[in-house]
Amino acid sequence: MTETDPAKETTAYRICPFCEACCGLELTLERGHVKRIRGHQADVFSAGYLCPKGVALKDLHEDPDRLRTPLIKRNSRFVEVSWDEAFAEIERRLPPLIAQHGRDAVALVLGNPIVHKASLLLYASRLGRALATRNIFSASTLDQMPKQLSSGLMFGDWLSVPVPDIERCDFLLVLGANPMVSNGSLWTVPNFRDKAKALRARGGKLVVVDPRRTETARAADQHLFVRPGGDVFLLLGMVQTLFAENLVRLGRLAPHVAGLETLQQSVAGFTPEKVSARCGIPAETIRELARSLATTERAAVYGRIGTCTQDFGTLCSWLVDVLNTLTGHLDAPGGAMFAKAAAFQNNTLGKSGSGKGIVTGRRKSRVSGAPEIFGELPMGCLAEEIETPGEGQVKALISISSNPALSSPHGTRLGAALEQLEFMVSVDIYLNETTRHADVILPGTSPLEDMHYDVAFTQLSHRNHARYSAPVLPRSPGQPDEWQVLLRLLAVIQGKGAGADLKALDDELLAQDLKRTAGPYADQIFNAVAHMCGAERLLEVGLRTGPYGDQFGAKPDGLNLDKLKTTVGGIDLGPLTSRVPEVLRTPSGKIELAPAMLVDDLSRAASDLQREVPELILIGRRQLHSNNSWMHNLPVLAKGAARCTALVNPADASRLGLQDGGKARITQGKRTIEVDVEITDEMMPGVVSLPHGWGHDQPGSRLEIAASNPGANLNQLMDEDRRDPLSGNAVLSGVEVQMEAVARPMEFAEQTQ
Ligand code: SF4
């Protein structure tokens, strides 16, 4: 924090926690309050950029609905209690339940905001290990698990995700993503708008494939409507074209690639003519896309949420990187490259060039037999694991920054299931649609009260960097750090009691970690950081042992936390560099182009090719003023016209008798929601779009502003059993629906006269 006048204004800097772009913010404070937020010009990564959400950090911090005191439910009502009372209640109820039913009787549910808080992210995994339950669920299976799986199978690690090197790229093909609004996802790229403009200004081309003419599509050189769920066929047609027209150029990667022939044989039947009708793109256009990609020296393909949350999510994610590899653009400047983070990145640890790879399906979910993936089970299985009696039935639940009652498919069923639990504890900043079912809620900190380092997003950034944010404001009286909250929960679970010595426990866990990861250096490292604790200590170890680190003195010019803290705006670690073969952790030491699991799944795609296209298909959408379910209570983002509208093409509106600004009913199976209609030709005919994360009209929540404009819950229509079978990811997009107008009261009266 820089003091300009102690009586008046001070300046502080914080990485924005609201989305994956991780912009550096400059906050002006006055007498302990945030007066102004703007982009931090000297930030080495975001250089002053921010979007409208960034300024809402003030609203989040000051939100009167944000929880500041633990709550216990007594006689169906929440009452404020002290931290000790809250933990006494947890200790009274959770350990006996574990003793009687076993650890699998406790589910751990992790939400998306965890990844934006270093404290939570670094200690949630420790809590999960200590709990040792098979029932771990997270937002990953509602979002990006397909990309993590395909990356793991191809490159050997769940987070080895190549990202477009946009500042040197001359042809960028974007599928199912809207970076003009999101600023990247699984691709940290603040100010995409200017970077895309620069790409075009240097003669490059931006092509967007999406069933909606999104904000990104509007700024592109070419936009192609694709039938929802048809991306996999477009991608297969492109890969087939590369082989058929002898356009495959592996270049420098040739000795590092395995499975080329298998891949060629597997895609041979997916000619552009065969896939064209299913994806809605002419065969010649598919060929032209493949040729442009192959013949542009610096080019990349990027696919995101729309390609993940569908029936063929893993196949799509795989084929995106197959295209990058076959055209020589993987790991090449201007193509799709691997970040090299300063800390916590598995693909910079251990022996380089090969590894154990990844495995899935080490166990199955108890009720429907869904395979485990990345240590967790599909979120769609949670309700049935609670509802279904028998050994291993989930009877208690710990949720951390998670709102699956809104974000997972068929949330009403899940909400009813949560009511059946014998005990539920939530760590959350809100009493929301999920935490209302809890028995105890432990409030998290405001992001302004906590230190931060981007553990995950530095691994997905378009440029290498390291930045640290110190706490900006003091915590509420009595409020512990979030890592302390999780550690205290861990102590209760381990039988050490809520009054356990947290420093001693933290030391014990670090010593165990170091024994596993640092071998002969474990004691030396432990002694060097023995005076520290918590997330900061883990960061210190991560930075010093990382690829740019000082190696605890062996490389005196290297990075450590003190050095990082003295920088204003962080440290730029340069553009992405080629990392193959060093980055690979597959057992073969090669890029696996044709993993058996993926090749086998092509038969499912082949049999889907002939599927009749439904009359109306529902897709989701990302909005500039919102990200998932947790920003709808912030005044600066909530003001203005209602945003939870269903976008409908004029031809569909006319066919269905829908009015612009009118109400409509969307039905999927037996479930129905009512929505506001917005008619626009930005939608592909036959496709309707609704944003997700809305539906704040459930009793018992404490979200006053969100409840005043609740919107409709898209996910309520989705089927919890419909999943990409490989990744377990929920299908939240590309689902066939029916839609009909809802008569206004006056119209109804006229009709019945
Ligand atoms: S783009 Fe994302 S990180 Fe940047 S200011 Fe907006 S919400 Fe924050």
Torsion of CA 426, 431, 434, 436, to 10 degrees: 90
Ligand 1 centroid distance, CA of 25 (Å): 9
Q: What angle do CA 380, 383, 386 make, to 5 degrees?
A: 140
Q: Does domain 615-752 have CATH number 3.90.1150.10?
A: no
Q: Could you tell me if the CB of 290 is within 6 A of ligand 1?
A: no
If you measure from the C-alpha of residue 342 to the centroid of ligand 1, how many angstroms do you get, rounded to a whole number?
22
CB-based burial, 449-481: b 16+ in 10 Å, e otherwise:
bbbbbbbbbbbbbbbbbbbbbebbbeeeeebbb
3.40.50.360, 3.40.50.720, 3.40.228.10, 3.10.580.10: CATH of 149-350+584-605: 3.40.228.10
Q: How many angstroms separate the alpha carbon of residue 190 from the centre of ligand 1?
A: 7
Full-model pTM: 0.96
Cβ neighbours of 729 (radius 10 Å)? 30
Rounded Cα distance between 134 and 397, Å, is 12
Pair 26, 482: CB distance under 8 Å = no
Q: In angstroms, what is the span from residue 221 Cα to ligand 1's centroid?
A: 25
With a cut of 70, list the residues of the chain below it in pLDDT. Answer: 1-7, 744-753
Is any atom of ligand 1 closer than 6 Å to the C-beta of 22?
yes
Give the ligand 1 atom nearest the CA of 182.
Answer: 1
CA angle 176, 180, 185 (to 5 degrees): 55
Distance, C-alpha 224 to centroid of its chain? 25
Pair 144, 303: CB distance under 8 Å: no
> Is the CB of residue 54 below 6 angstroms from any atom belonging to ligand 1?
yes
For 607, the token pair is 């049999």
CA–centroid distance, 17 to ligand 1, in Å, is 7
Q: Cα(354)–Cα(461) distance, rounded to whole angstroms?
A: 23
Report the C-alpha gap between 346 and 349 in whole angstroms: 5
Q: Where are the beta strands (DSSP E) in 165-231?
A: 171-175, 205-209, 222-224
Residue 51 Cα: closest atom of ligand 1: 6
Q: Is the CB of 340 under 6 A from ligand 1?
A: no
Is the CB of 21 inside a 6 Å radius of any atom of ligand 1?
yes
- Predicted pLDDT at 630: 76
Q: Nearest residue CA, atom 6 of ligand 1? A: 51
Q: 3-class DSSP state for residue 157?
A: coil
Q: Is 288 left (phi over 0), alpha (psi -120 to 50) or beta?
A: alpha
Query: What is the helix, strand, coil percentage profile of the chain, to 5?
Result: 40, 20, 45
Q: Which residues on neighbouring strands pair with residue 302, listed in sequence order?
A: 174
Query: How high is the pLDDT of residue 476?
Result: 87
Give the phi and the psi of residue 660 in degrees, each rounded to 5: -65, 125
Compute the distance from residue 307 Cα to the ligand 1 centre, in Å: 23
Q: Are strands 171-175 and 163-164 parallel, antiparallel or unpaired?
A: unpaired
What ligand 1 atom has the least distance to the C-alpha of 183? 1
pLDDT of residue 613: 87
Residue among 23, 53, 28 at smallest CA distance from 39: 23
The 2-3 sheet, strands edge to edge: 2-3, 9-15, 24-30, 33-39
Q: Closest ligand 1 atom to the C-alpha of 18?
A: 7
149-350+584-605 and 615-752 agree in CATH topology: no
Probe residue for ligand 1, chosen from 13, 25, 41, 183 as the CB with the greatest number of ligand atoms within 8 Å: 183
Predicted pLDDT of residue 490: 98
User: What is 2-62's CATH number?
Assistant: 2.20.25.90
Q: Is 18 in the pocket of ligand 1 (CB under 6 A)?
A: yes
Question: Cα(15) to centroid of ligand 1, in Å?
Answer: 9
Query: What number does the ligand 1 atom closest to the CA of 627 have?
Result: 7
Ligand 1 centroid–CA 625 distance in Å is: 10
- In 204-335 the beta strands, taken as DSSP E runs, fall at 205-209, 222-224, 257-258, 299-303
Residue 658 burial (C-beta neighbours within 10 Å; 0-12, 13-18, 19+): buried
Atom number in ligand 1 closest to CA 15: 3
Does ligand 1 lie within 6 Å of residue 658's CB atom?
A: no
Ligand 1: which of 15, 20, 22, 23 to mutate, most ligand atoms within 8 Å of CB?
23
pLDDT computed for residue 747 by the predictor: 55
**What is the predicted pLDDT for the residue at 720?**
95
Question: What was the pLDDT predicted at 753?
Answer: 45
Handedness of CA 71, 73, 77, 81 (dihedral sign): negative
Q: CB burial class (10 A; 0-12, 13-18, 19+) of residue 721?
A: middle
Q: Please classify residue 386 by burial: count the beta carbons closer than 10 Å to its beta carbon, then call 0-12 exposed, 13-18 middle and 19+ buried.
A: buried
- Does residue 23 have its Cβ closer than 6 Å to ligand 1? yes
CA distance linking residue 733 with residue 711, whole number of Å:
18
Q: Is any ligand 1 atom within 6 A of the Cβ of residue 124?
A: no
For ligand 1, say whether the CB of 55 is within 6 Å of any of its atoms: no
Based on its alpha-carbon atoms, the radius of gyration of the chain, rounded to whole angstroms, reads 25
In the structure, how many helices (H) and strands (E) does the chain have? 26, 28
For residue 46, the ligand 1 atom closest to its alpha carbon is 4
Instruction: Say how many Å lie between the CA of residue 377 and the centre of ligand 1.
Output: 30
Write down the domain spans for the chain: 2-62, 149-350+584-605, 615-752
User: Ligand 1: does its nearest atom lie under 6 Å from the Cβ of 56?
Assistant: no
- On the CB side of 332, CA atoms within 13 Å amount to 23
The verdict on the CB of residue 50 being under 6 Å from ligand 1 is yes
How high is the pLDDT of residue 1? 47
The secondary element (H helix, E strand) that includes residue 13 is: strand 9-15
For ligand 1, say whether the CB of 189 is within 6 Å of any of its atoms. Answer: no
